[in-house]
């Protein structure tokens, strides 16, 4: 019997990792569009809102009144989505710690990108302040609201002696930062998730290394963000199509290109730099194939169908009657919402798939609707 898949439409709601980009263009406008799509099809999404960014805006709003205007609108958009039934959970990029503002939308972010490189007391202070901010804001609408799920900036969650214990101490039920199969070696991020012991189903993690499955029940659960095997050349054609669409939109839209921010080569691994490295990276991704994150902003509808076929195969192999699956999305990267809307419509028609928020998944972990495995 095919298990029931509880699909969480999760969005990391943020500007660029280096602080560039207009929040109105990268966050506010696309969040409203995505919420409208969810509403039209009767499902609820989950938004991992980047709170360190918001705290930086709030901390400097007296000196720079334009920051207060944006921070107020940030809250307005979050509350507006929450009132419509959508979920809000915590996302945290520590590079915003001690950020400085240079005016005219220019930020200087000097903090380390990886939360794993901070001492435990600083990790706890950052996570606690983000959790408190969200709960104070959203309990104005729902006094029962709780921040129960966490996703680390740039996926940095393991190995760490501190992060999972801190999340547990602060009342988080589960983490969704592990992405099996990915590896980063950039000037900002170093992580290796190529040997994760669980890539799909909920599990109790080793409290010092979330890549490993614990032998015993732990105070927190990990649910991996979904990945699937990249189909090589099909992915290459999709990326080419996306590039053409972006160029076409740039020629027809009056929005300044700078409003979308700049990413540079922040996500280029050291081995993929230079001419030979670029060729090697292209071969690895588009001819050999590699794990692709289930990030809807980066996929067309054909790729989303491949993703769902793989999810169904993994669910059938899991032996679970009900399995939660965590998708990814970045509203800042969406240029065309049509494929996402088509995918949402297909999910709604599916007999074996139900949309679930992160809060609903937390409830399912509490009442044993969803089972977490041990080693």
Instruction: Give the separation between CA 298 and CA 300, rounded to whole angstroms.
Output: 7
pLDDT at 249 over 80: no
Kind of pairing between the strands at 353-355 and 183-185: unpaired
Least confident of 28-42, 282-296, 336-350: 282-296
| Overall average pLDDT of the 150-155 stretch | 98
Counts of helices then strands in the chain (DSSP H, E): 11, 17
Q: How far is CA 38 from the centre of its chain?
A: 17
Instruction: Determine the pLDDT at residue 29.
Output: 98
Q: What contacts 196, CB < 8 A, 6 or more positions away?
A: 178, 180, 181, 211, 224
How far apart are the two ends of the chain, measured CA to CA in Å? 25
Extract the tokens encoding 157.
């969650």
Kind of pairing between the strands at 221-222 and 174-175: parallel
> Which pairs from 316-321 meet CB under 8 Å and 24+ separation?
316/2, 316/3, 318/3, 318/200, 318/201, 320/3, 320/201, 320/370, 320/371, 321/1, 321/3, 321/4
Asked whether 310 and 199 are in contact (CB, 8 A), the reply is no
CATH code of the region 4-366: 3.20.20.370
Instruction: Determine the pLDDT at residue 270.
Output: 62
pLDDT at 240 over 80: no
Q: pTM, whole model, 2 decimals?
A: 0.90
Strand partners, 221: 174
Q: Which tens digits make up the pLDDT trace of 285-305? A: 555 457 899 999 999 999 999
What three-state secondary structure class fits 296?
helix
Which residue ranges make up each domain of the chain?
4-366
Task: Give the other-Cβ count within 10 Å of 100's Cβ.
Answer: 12
Asked whether 172 and 147 are in contact (CB, 8 A), the reply is yes
Instruction: Determine the pLDDT at residue 247.
Output: 59
Instruction: Determine the pLDDT at residue 312.
Output: 98
Instruction: Determine the pLDDT at residue 182.
Output: 94
Q: Which of 13-22, 247-256, 259-268, 280-289 has the highest mean pLDDT?
A: 13-22
Handedness of CA 180, 185, 190, 195 (dihedral sign): positive
Compare 252 and 184 and report the one with higher pLDDT: 184
Instruction: Give the separation between CA 180 and CA 278, rounded to whole angstroms.
Output: 23
Instruction: Give the separation between CA 180 and CA 316, rounded to whole angstroms.
Output: 19
């Amino acid at each position: 019997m095919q298990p029931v898949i509880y699909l969480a439409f999760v969005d990391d709601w943020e500007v660029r990792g280096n602080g560039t980009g207009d929040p109105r263009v990268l966050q506010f406008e696309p969040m409203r569009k995505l919420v409208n799509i969810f509403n039209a099809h009767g499902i609820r999404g989950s938004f991992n809102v980047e709170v360190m960014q918001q705290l930086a805006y709030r901390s400097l709003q007296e000196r720079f009144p334009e920051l207060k205007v944006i921070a107020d609108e940030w809250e307005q958009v979050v509350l507006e989505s929450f009132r419509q039934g959508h979920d809000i959970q915590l996302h945290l990029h520590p590079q915003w710690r001690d950020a400085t503002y240079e005016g005219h939308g220019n930020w200087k972010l000097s903090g380390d990108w990886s939360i794993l490189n901070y001492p435990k007391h600083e990790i706890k202070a950052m996570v606690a302040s983000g959790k408190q901010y969200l709960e104070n804001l959203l309990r104005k609408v729902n006094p029962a609201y709780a921040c129960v799920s966490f996703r680390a900036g740039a996926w940095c969650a393991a190995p760490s002696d501190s992060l999972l214990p801190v999340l547990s101490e602060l009342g988080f039920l589960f983490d969704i930062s592990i992405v099996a199969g990915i590896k980063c070696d950039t000037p900002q991020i170093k992580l290796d998730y190529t040997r994760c012991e669980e890539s799909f189903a909920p599990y109790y993690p080793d409290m010092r290394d979330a890549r490993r499955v614990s032998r015993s029940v732990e105070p927190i659960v990990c649910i991996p963000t979904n990945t699937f095997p990249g189909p090589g050349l099909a992915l290459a054609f999709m990326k080419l199509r996306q590039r053409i669409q972006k160029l076409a939109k740039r020629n027809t839209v009056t929005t300044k290109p700078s409003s979308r921010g700049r990413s540079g080569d922040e996500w280029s691994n050291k081995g993929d730099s230079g001419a030979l490295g670029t060729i090697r990276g292209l071969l690895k991704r588009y001819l050999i194939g590699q794990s692709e994150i289930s990030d809807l902003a980066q996929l067309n509808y054909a790729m989303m169908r491949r993703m769902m076929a793989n999810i169904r195969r993994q669910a059938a192999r899991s032996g679970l009657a009900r399995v939660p699956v965590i998708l990814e999305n970045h509203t800042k990267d969406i240029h065309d919402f049509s494929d996402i809307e088509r995918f949402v419509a297909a999910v709604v028609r599916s007999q074996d798939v139900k949309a679930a928020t992160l809060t609903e998944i937390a409830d399912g972990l509490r009442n044993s609707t969803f089972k977490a495995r041990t080693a």
